[in-house]
């Protein structure tokens, strides 16, 4: 199978997309590794694979999009989760259920994908807010905290947090909030670009160069980066809002520390 083209990475405004079905199978008949991605799946649930997708697969700390696919004869497939295959690199698996269990898509069908726009907007706001928080903490504490580095993040609404190497004391909570407010209120543009290794080096960001082999990328492919203009650049495959103010009020909830690392949780006004 070929890698699924992630159409949303090239056009963030897409909410609907026509594409072609390349595979349809029941969850029960999946390889065990892929079946484990959808533990809540029932026997009559299915997986649909398409040439392109507008759905963001869960990953990079961001939840997957949800929505529907509709076929030419009115057949409807409710998409409840999207994940990248653990077997076929780059293949997006759309998990869900056909509204009429007697009807399915056929390979070669042209179908229309439509995402839940409200959830996409919410997830994009959380994702951008997490990057802005990471930038605020880096600029404030990079030279203040021993062995500082950014580690990973979760942008799920019920567990949003950024993790850092180094111990960040509670006294930094208010200064971090102040810097975060400054970046949110500044309405910094959030732009997508495509870089190769030399672009990272020329911008002094060698530390951010992704592992091309681990990502299964060809030598001529470029990495997708998200630039918060005036703050930071991050290699990122997720969805974002257009300017930082669109995140809405973003609040630092708590700073916790364990095993030499720190975790800063956050919320946004929904």
Last residue of a domain, one of 80, 115, 150: 115
Flag whether pLDDT at 253 surpasses 90: yes
Q: What is the CATH number of the domain that holds 157?
A: 3.30.980.10
pLDDT of res. 214: 76
Q: Please state, in angstroms and rounded to a whole number, the distance separating the CA atoms of residues 118 and 116.
A: 6
116, 234 Cβ separation under 8 angstroms: no
What's the whole-number mean pLDDT along residues 242-270?
A: 97
pLDDT(193) > 90:
yes
**Residues 111, 126 within the same domain:** no
Q: Are residues 227 and 154 in the same domain?
A: yes
pLDDT digits (tens, 9 = 90+) for 133-173: 999 999 999 999 999 999 999 999 999 999 999 999 999 99
pLDDT (0 to 100) of residue 44: 81
Does residue 234 register a pLDDT over 90?
yes
10-66 pLDDT tens trace: 998 899 999 999 999 999 899 999 989 998 888 789 999 999 999 999 998 999 999
Residues 137 and 231 in one domain: yes
Cα torsion through 165, 167, 170, 174, rounded to 10 = -40
For residues 92 and 9, membership in a common domain is answered with yes
**Section 182-202 average pLDDT:** 96
Q: Quick one: 69 and 201 in the same domain?
A: no
Who's near 199: CB < 8 A, 6+ residues apart?
A: 222
Specify whether 226 is located in the same domain as 157.
yes
> Which whole number is the average pLDDT over 170-183?
98
Are 57 and 143 contained in the same domain? Answer: no
Of 115, 135, 163, the residue at which a domain comes to its end is: 115
pLDDT at 1: 55
pLDDT in tens, 68-99: 999 988 999 999 999 999 998 889 999 999 99
Q: Which residues contact 147 (CB under 8 A, 6 or more apart)?
A: 165, 166, 260
Q: Report the pLDDT averaged over residues 107-118.
A: 97
Question: Whose CA is closest to 69, among 91, 31, 39, 99?
Answer: 99
Do 150 and 97 share a structural domain?
Answer: no
Give me the pLDDT at residue 6, please: 95
The residue with greater pLDDT, 78 or 2, is: 78
108 and 125, same domain (yes or no)? no
In the listed set 115, 130, 153, which residue is the last one of a domain according to the structure? 115
Total number of domains in the chain: 2
pTM of the model: 0.94
Answer yes or no: do 15 and 131 share one domain.
no
Domain containing 239: what range? 120-268
Proportion of the chain above pLDDT 90, given as a percent: 84
Q: Are residues 130 and 241 in the same domain?
A: yes
* CB-based burial, 169-188: b 16+ in 10 Å, e otherwise: eeebeeebbebbeebbebeb
At 136 the three-state DSSP class reads helix
Question: Looking at residue 53, which CATH number applies to its domain?
Answer: 2.40.30.130
Same domain, 145 and 14: no
**Residue 218: per-residue pLDDT:** 81
Computed over every residue of the chain, the mean pLDDT equals 94
Residue 8 has pLDDT above 60, yes or no: yes
pLDDT at position 181 is 98
């Amino acid at each position: 199978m070929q890698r699924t083209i992630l159409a949303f990475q090239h056009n963030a405004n897409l909410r609907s997309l026509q594409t072609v079905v390349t595979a349809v199978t029941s969850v029960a008949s999946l390889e065990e590794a892929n079946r484990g991605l959808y533990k809540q799946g029932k026997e009559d649930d299915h997986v649909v694979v398409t040439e392109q997708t507008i759905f963001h697969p869960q990953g990079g700390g961001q939840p997957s999009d949800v929505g529907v696919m509709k076929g030419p004869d009115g057949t409807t497939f409710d998409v409840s989760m999207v994940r990248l295959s653990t077997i076929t690199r780059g293949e997006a698996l759309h998990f869900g259920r056909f509204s009429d269990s007697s009807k399915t898509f056929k390979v070669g069908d042209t179908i229309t994908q439509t995402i839940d726009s409200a959830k996409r907007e919410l997830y994009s706001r959380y994702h951008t807010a997490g990057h802005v928080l990471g930038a605020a903490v880096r600029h404030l504490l990079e030279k203040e905290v021993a062995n500082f580095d950014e580690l990973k993040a979760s942008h799920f609404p019920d567990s949003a947090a950024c993790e850092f190497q180094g111990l960040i004391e509670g006294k930094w909570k208010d200064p971090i909030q102040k810097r975060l407010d400054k970046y949110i209120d500044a309405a910094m543009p959030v732009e997508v670009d495509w870089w190769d290794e030399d672009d990272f080096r020329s911008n002094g960001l060698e530390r951010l160069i992704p592992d091309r082999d681990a990502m299964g990328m060809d030598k001529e492919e470029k990495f997708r980066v998200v630039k918060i203009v005036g703050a930071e650049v991050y290699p990122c495959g997720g969805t974002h809002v257009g300017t930082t103010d669109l995140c809405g009020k973003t609040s630092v909830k708590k700073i916790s520390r364990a095993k030499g690392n720190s975790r800063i949780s956050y919320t946004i006004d929904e």
